Amino acid sequence: MMMMTTNTPFLNQSALAVHQAIQSGETTAVSVLDATYVHIEAHEAQVGAFLSLTKDLAYDYATEVDKKVKAGEKLPLLAGVPIAVKDNISVQGAKTTCGSKILETYVAPYDATVVKQLKDRGMPIIGKTNLDEFAMGSSTENSAFQLTHNPWNLNKVPGGSSGGSAACVSAGMVSLSLGSDTGGSVRQPASLCGLVGLKPTYGLVSRFGLVAYASSLDQISPFGRSVADVAALLDVIAGHDANDMTSAQFKPETPYLNSANPEALPQRLGGKKLKVGIIAELNGEGMDASVQQAFQQSVKLFEAQGAEVVTLSIGGIREMMAAYYIIAPAEASSNLARFDGIRYGVRTKEKVENVYDLFRKNRSEGFGAEVKRRILLGTFALSSGYYDAYYGKAQAARRLLVAEFEKAWQQVDVLICPTSPTTAFDIGAKTDDPITMYLSDVATIPINLAGIPALSLPCGFDEYHLPIGLQIMAPKFAETTLLGVASLFEDAIGLKNLIPSAFKSTGVCPV
């Protein structure tokens, strides 16, 4: 294969820059895709981001994009930009394993709504990314198939459960990917991998075609290396979907990409001064010193940009860990009941005595330890005599949390806190201690319970040059404000389009 050095190493650039280069004819969608797969081939063995690649599908869409450019057509937003998709999101004709042995051979017969939206925009889907089994985990170590490594330090975890989607963007393989966020599964790996990760308002993005973990918490969510790229991808995937009964009838006044601009923020705030709230309960206690230092510097940076910063309390927010680990496993125990080896899933090869024995062996062999743990927790919480004591009280606590956030929005425009209490930890460091692992999501879980949008973006590095993330929260359906504030901070701190030096593209593309 002949090689040539391009004037611009497109893989190091933003998704919007790549799209513009394709539209202008500076490069082609097929050339970008060629370079993408060369980069993946060079680094995938180190990173382990992908469970499968969908080359034929990707080249079909890249070829169509190039035909449109040649014909002089104006492309849809992000057309030609390669994207990776978490392997719990259905792509027709491709494996959708959810990182589980029980779905090892399952091929999706239809597209998720978000996948259809990507295809309609001409975005080549390059492959399916690794995850904690059924999205249950915070390190991507629960995958039944492989480990995923953090590109900033290959001995560290990338976070989870969307660790593969985070790692492939962090390693420069793609500029955009989709994950799912149930309790922090996009924001926490975004923090650990130096990315922007957005959990939209519950209902803003269709869940149709997402294999459900906890239906009242799950939300498909974008990763990128800049706020503008994430905003552009949100424009592609957001919108009402009749196939999803929880899909919201909401449309923003302006495109989200237009809001990802500090200059648009004053108008959004009605000319008022930006008011930023610090959550007292998530400030200091349990945070690494480097994380707390970066957070305090972030607060000063907001003040330097003219924001008024106040500290306020969100009552019961730390108790939401307990509520989450009742609600999420309870919904999981119901959602995962279908994976029995008869309707869905791999069937045991052992001899069975009856249908109950078949169910037991199928599920015992097919599910990993963490999935079994959460199914058992959820089944117990929903069992006769315990429903009101556990699930009922957890839902009551959730309603109180929503009320607490509503009170906060009367005082501030956004809330901030560290995204993760630590930077990326060693592979294997927390696998034998589930409680410690669960605490990785102490700051992100309340957002899913409340259904509000939140975004993580880089705010510094620790002493080992591992990324630290800042979480910004906003009221329901206030993504335009959230993106404006995030872009203000991003411009001020100057940390975007981050790629570890070992993974930067050389600019060499095949022809």
Model confidence pLDDT, tens digit, residues 67-80: 999 999 999 999 99
Q: Is the separation of the CB atoms in 229 and 15 below 8 Å?
A: yes
Give 222-258 pLDDT, tens digit per residue: 999 999 999 999 999 999 999 999 999 999 999 999 9
The number of distinct structural domains making up the chain is 1
Quick one: pLDDT at residue 508?
47
Catalytic residue among 90, 100, 161, 170: 161
Give 130-140 pLDDT, tens digit per residue: 999 999 999 99
Q: What are phi and psi of 388, to 5 degrees?
A: -70, -35
Would 261 be classed as within a structural domain? yes
Kindly report the average pLDDT of the chain as a whole number.
94
Amino acid in the structure at residue 283 = N
Cβ-count burial of 146 within 10 angstroms (0-12 exposed, 13-18 middle, 19+ buried)?
middle
- The reply to whether 161 belongs to the active site is yes
3-state SS, 444-464, equals CHHHHHHCCCEEEEEEEECCC
pLDDT band at 507 (very low <50, low <70, confident <90, very high): low
Would 335 be classed as within a structural domain? no
Domain span holding position 156: 14-320+395-503
Give the contacts of 143 (CB within 8 A, at least 6 positions apart).
51, 99, 130, 131, 132, 133
Quick one: pLDDT at residue 9?
61
Quick one: pLDDT at residue 7?
38
Chain centroid to CA 416: how far? 18
Would 168 be classed as within a structural domain? yes
- The reply to whether 86 belongs to the active site is yes
Quick one: pLDDT at residue 421?
97
Would 173 be classed as within a structural domain? yes
Cβ-count burial of 52 within 10 angstroms (0-12 exposed, 13-18 middle, 19+ buried)?
middle
Q: Is the separation of the CB atoms in 268 and 456 below 8 Å?
A: no
Would 57 be classed as within a structural domain? yes
pTM for this one? Answer: 0.96
Could you tell me which of 317, 300, 295 has the C-alpha nearest to residue 420? 295
Catalytic residue among 68, 86, 116, 496: 86
Quick one: pLDDT at residue 2?
32
Distance CA 341, CA 353 (A): 15
Percent of residues, the chain, with pLDDT higher than 90? 89
Would 345 be classed as within a structural domain? no
Would 339 be classed as within a structural domain? no
β partners of residue 508: 5
Give the contacts of 340 (CB within 8 A, at least 6 positions apart).
358, 359, 362, 363
Does the structure show a pLDDT above 70 at 511? no
- The reply to whether 185 belongs to the active site is yes
Q: Which CATH number does the domain housing residue 420 bear?
A: 3.90.1300.10
Does the structure show a pLDDT above 90 at 55? yes
Distance CA 175, CA 188 (A): 18
Quick one: pLDDT at residue 506?
67
Quick one: pLDDT at residue 57?
98
Catalytic residue among 138, 185, 221, 333: 185
Task: Find out whether the peptide bond into 226 is cis, omega within 30 degrees of 0.
Answer: no
Rg of the chain over all Cα atoms, to the nearest angstrom: 22
> Hey, what are 40's tokens?
């993946």
What is the torsional sign of CA 37, 38, 41, 47? negative
